[in-house]
Structure 1
Amino acid sequence: MSTTAAGNATGIHAASTNLTGAARSPKTLPGVPRWAELAAQAAAWANVPSGLWRLAIAVGIPVGLAQVEYDRMHAPGWGSFYLLFLTALSEGLALLTLGLIRQWGETWPRFIPFVGGRPVSVKVATGLGAFGAVATTIYGAAFIYSTFHADMEGARWAIWLLNATYAPMILWGPALGAVTVHYYQRRTRGARGEL
């Protein structure tokens, strides 16, 4: 291997790691600190456990709840469509957090009609991010309250499983808030008048 090739290989490796040597996503924009990338990933993945729990109920996999709880949800049955919709919607919204650290959060992807290739408005992105952060933080607080005051029927392990699958959602709001603030600061640094 030539010296130039070795230098390029080292440069490629250095570009994909941070100062501590931890691997970075190749899709993360330059200038995004590791903490922001981790917070965005946490927000994006926080919904997955609860989504899997809802999917299990939707398709009839027993999760230990009493039959009366399944009957209230009408699942499996027509209530399964609601559970599937809720799962897809919440995960889709959570995945939008990744746009705050990736190129598609700064420039609309070309395949989107009318706006493809244009810059994403900083005001719109941070406004929606801030709204989402507040809403999901309130949801997290409501989850904590309902955990101690809910009256669900089921096996003890079922209630534990329910709480364990929904607990990561507590991270969604604060993580989204932190990444939204970073996005705003990164996008407006040096161009404060161009909002």
Structure 2
Amino acid sequence: MGAAHAMPLVALPVCLWRLPIAFGYGMGGEVLPPSAWNIPYVVGLSVLSEAFALLSLGLVRRWGEVVPTWVPKLGGRRIPPFAVTLPATISGLLFTALMVHWVFGALQLGGADGFPYAEGWDVLAMTVSGLFTLWGPLLLALTFAYHRRRRPR
């Protein structure tokens, strides 16, 4: 249960980190080229990230097992476990692979030589990004617990 509540907190720092970038402040890194889509894209990405992090609470809550009664025509029906575990497992594996690739690529296995942020900002960037790397493994752990709880006996 604690891991599910940690998911939105893991995503929040990187979501907040992105916001100044939308408004043209690179925080020691590359500045996005001017575009009318920067703000909606970055803010939308942050909101979507938090929404998916909050959705992971369904892996430990009743609404992840039974459709809420307020949903027309489907309310009260049992959600097939496969319909939850398959997308959650794929997402967890993709996020884990993406983050491993990013960490090894950005940090170049021997230090932060290629990290795209200036001195000072690099520590903050690595901290918020480092927290975000927990998303995939946490999601996989939650999915495994959900699967064990919901599998046929």
TM-score range, shorter chain: 0.7 to 0.9
Structure with larger Rg: 1
Match of 2:3 in 1: 39
Q: Over residues 123-145 of structure 1, what are the superposed CA-to-partner deviations in whole Å (9 max), with x where a residue is unaligned?
A: 11011111111011112202212
| Structure 2 residue identity aligned to 1:181 | F
**Distance verdict in 2 for CA 1:123–1:99, change over 3 Å:** same
Aligned 1:59-70 pairs, distance under 5 A: 59=23, 62=25, 64-66=27-29, 69-70=30-31
Identity of aligned residues (%): 32
Is residue 107 of structure 2 the alignment partner of residue 148 of structure 1? yes
Match of 1:122 in 2: 81
Give the distance between the partners of 1:160 and 1:170, measured in 2 at CA.
15
| Structure 2 residue identity aligned to 1:49 | P
| Structure 2 residue identity aligned to 1:121 | P
Q: Tell me, yes or no, if the aligned pair for 1:43 and 1:172 is still in contact at 8 Å.
A: yes
Give the distance between the partners of 2:115 and 2:124, measured in 1 at CA.
15
Gaps of 5+ in 2: 109-113
Moved over 6 A (4+): none
Match of 1:88 in 2: 47
Q: TM-score, normalised by structure 2?
A: 0.84
Q: Tell me, yes or no, if the aligned pair for 2:96 and 2:137 is still in contact at 8 Å.
A: yes
| Structure 2 residue identity aligned to 1:139 | L
1:49 to 6, 13, 30: 13
Q: Over residues 70-119 of structure 1, what are the superposed CA-to-partner deviations in whole Å (9 max), with x where a residue is unaligned?
A: 144x47x5312111111111221122111010111011123334422211
Q: TM-score, normalised by structure 1?
A: 0.67
Match of 2:125 in 1: 162
